[in-house]
Structures are given as C-alpha cells and as structure tokens.
Amino acid sequence: MIGDCDTRPWGSWQVLDEGDGFKVKRLVVAPHQRLSYQTHEHRAEHWAIVSGKATCVVDGELILAGPGQSIDVEIGQPHRITNMEDETLVLIEVQMGAYTGEDDICRLEDDYGRIPA
C-alpha cells in the first residue's frame, strides 16, 4: 500500500508508489549498517542512489555507487546493500515483477538473525 513504511534494524523504507508489476520505495540505510544478503524469486530491482555512498554486492560482484548512480539486480541474483560510511545512505528502489510482496525475500546471510531455521 502506498505510504506504507517500516523500520528495520538497518534503517527504514517507505513505499512511494505501487501498481501492477511494480513498487517504488525510498530506503534509508543508517551508517555502518547493511541489509541481508538475499534473492527474490519474482522481482528485479533498480537502485538509484540519492545521497551517501552504497557499497553493494550483486551476484558476487562488488559495486560502489554514489549520488546519481544506479545499480540493477536481476530476478534471482544474490544481492546486498551496505552503508560503510558515517553519513546516512538514501536510495530509491524500483521493484519490477509479477509479485512485489515483502515475503519474496530469501535471506542467505543476515546480521540481525532473520534467517529462517
């Protein structure tokens, strides 16, 4: 639902727009935090960096990106966003696919113990 927001151990996200086959989120990653290393079965993602510096891993490749730069993640590719800086990282995430629900996350590694047993 548009406007939905959630606080996570690494920061927060808010849904900016949503429709058939897509969802747009604003992600805020706190300094020295990272999201889980994860895959998605039903969606691809496009990350546009707004402020801060992103240190990302996409399918085993290390990618550094700053404001105005973007990163693409295909369906099924393992990926992670990390903020290694002292400044907050803000990015826009565009999810594209047949299903963009929050339960389409398969966590491979997680700093916060959210991997299913």
pLDDT band (50, 70, 90) for residue 107: very high
Q: Assess if residue 49 is contained within a domain.
A: yes
Residues 7-31: what's their mean pLDDT? 97
> Is pLDDT at 117 greater than 60 in this prediction?
no
Q: Assess if residue 115 is contained within a domain.
A: no
Which residues are CB-neighbours of 65 under 8 A, at least 6 positions away? 47, 49, 53, 54, 56, 71
Mean pLDDT of the chain: 95
Q: Assess if residue 116 is contained within a domain.
A: no
Tell me the residue range of the domain where 104 lies: 5-109
Structural domain total, the chain? 1
DSSP string over 47-108? EEEEES-EEEEETTEEEEE-TT-EEEE-TT--EEEEE-SSSPEEEEEEEEES---TT--EEE
pLDDT band (50, 70, 90) for residue 115: confident
| pTM recorded for the entire structure | 0.92
Residue 90's pLDDT is 98
Q: Assess if residue 114 is contained within a domain.
A: no
Residues 9-19: what's their mean pLDDT? 97
Q: Assess if residue 33 is contained within a domain.
A: yes
